[in-house]
Structure 1
Amino acid sequence: MPLPRDYSGQTCALARSMEIIGERWTLLIVRDAFYGVRRFGEFAAHLRLPRAVLTDRLTTLTAAEVLRRLPDTGRREVYTLTPKGVALWPAVRALTEWGDAFYAADAGPRRIFRHADDDAPVAADGRCTGCGAPVPVEDLLVTPGPGLAPAAEDDDPVTRALARPHRLLEPLPHVPLTPRSKRGSHS
């Protein structure tokens, strides 16, 4: 019997938040949206989750107004973070830092966040280590860290794109998905 999606009897804000973002894969979808993933096929290829699960999670995030679905070329659609979704950045960043601190390989973090204005690293508190200013999410560069393995030729397009520095929230360059890349890779 599957677990229910709600926390009956729980009235705290954390329980209400978990009803939206607490299911398996959901935060990884949100993370990828920050990294610039926009298309259904790119989410599927990068995360390697069943398409039915991805559809369900995208539907939940769209209904909760964390993501919005917008028309793109032809019959395709893209997903972008709403202001409510962008407000999740501190939580996504904190969980990433926690994972780097306690579960990253000895090589170091997979990604480093830098201030786009001066290329200085951004501290865990969200301040630039160079100029000291708080850095809004749209001014963050995500760059490969020492723990990120070089992208392999057979990696999915999202993994390859994430191996290059780029601003958060900016769409990744569109790379057509091949049958091989549709299997995907975790990154």
Structure 2
Amino acid sequence: MTSRPDHRQDPLSRNCSLARALDIVGEWWSLLVVRETFFGAHRFQDYVDQLGIARNILSARLKRLTGAGVLSRTEGEGGSVEYRLTAKGEALMPVLVALLQWGDAHANPDLPPVVLVDRLKGQPIAPLTLRAADGRDLGPRDIRALPGPGADERLRERLAPRRMTRVADGA
């Protein structure tokens, strides 16, 4: 019997963008560090103060996020170190907003602890939705997964359109 790789231990062996993304930011402290950076934290002590995170865990998360290109690390005068979001890190904003909005609706249904507003108008941002190319709102039943250009054979087979079976009249 051939053993299959443990994909939780090696997400890069999976032909799955979600597994690879979770390998970078899927640990909850990592997303909270990214959130705090969006909120203005830039120094090690900022993260410790805001998150109450252990220093060794924070150090590991910052190293992982900088290594993955989500944060950049710069050294200033006097040896101070600051962390900034890269373009790759800023691209996580819709992910964080979606999780925050989901949490407000399903995990913390009382009053939301944070309200995100449009900086220019001061109005709360609209709930994130999925939209078709023509602008229509889409729900889970409106979306279908198809193999992309990077799909391997196993994924192509799994996502291949299922053959429609015809039911004979009267059957």
* 1:123 matched residue in structure 2: 126
Calculate percent identity across the aligned residue pairs. 39
* Cα pair distance change 1:85/1:100, threshold 3 Å: same
How many Å separate the matches in 1 of 2:9 and 2:76?
31
Q: CA RMSD in A?
A: 1.9
* 1:101 matched residue in structure 2: 105
Query: Unaligned 5+ residue runs, structure 2?
Result: 1-7, 130-171
Q: State the structure with bigger RCO (CA 8 A, min sep 6), 1 or 2.
A: 1
Over alpha carbons, which structure has the higher Rg?
2
Report if the CA contact (8 A) 1:67-1:79 is conserved.
yes
After TM superposition, list the pairs within 5 Å mapping 1:24-173 onto structure 2: 24-104=28-108, 106=110, 108-125=111-128
Q: Which has the higher helix share?
A: 2
Report if the CA contact (8 A) 1:5-1:19 is conserved.
no
Report if the CA contact (8 A) 2:71-2:86 is conserved.
yes
Question: Which among 9, 12, 21 is matched to residue 16 of structure 2?
Answer: 12
After superposing on structure 2, the runs of 4+ consecutive aligned residues of structure 1 that deviate more than 4 Å are none
SS in structure 1 opposite 2:42? coil
TM-score under structure 1 length normalisation: 0.61
* 1:132 matched residue in structure 2: none
SS in structure 2 opposite 1:74? helix
Report if the CA contact (8 A) 1:67-1:80 is conserved.
yes
TM-score under structure 2 length normalisation: 0.66
* Cα pair distance change 1:6/1:26, threshold 3 Å: farther
Give, in angstroms, the shift of residue 14 of structure 1: 0.3
Question: How many residues end up aligned between the 2 structures?
Answer: 123
Give, in angstroms, the shift of residue 105 of structure 1: 5.0
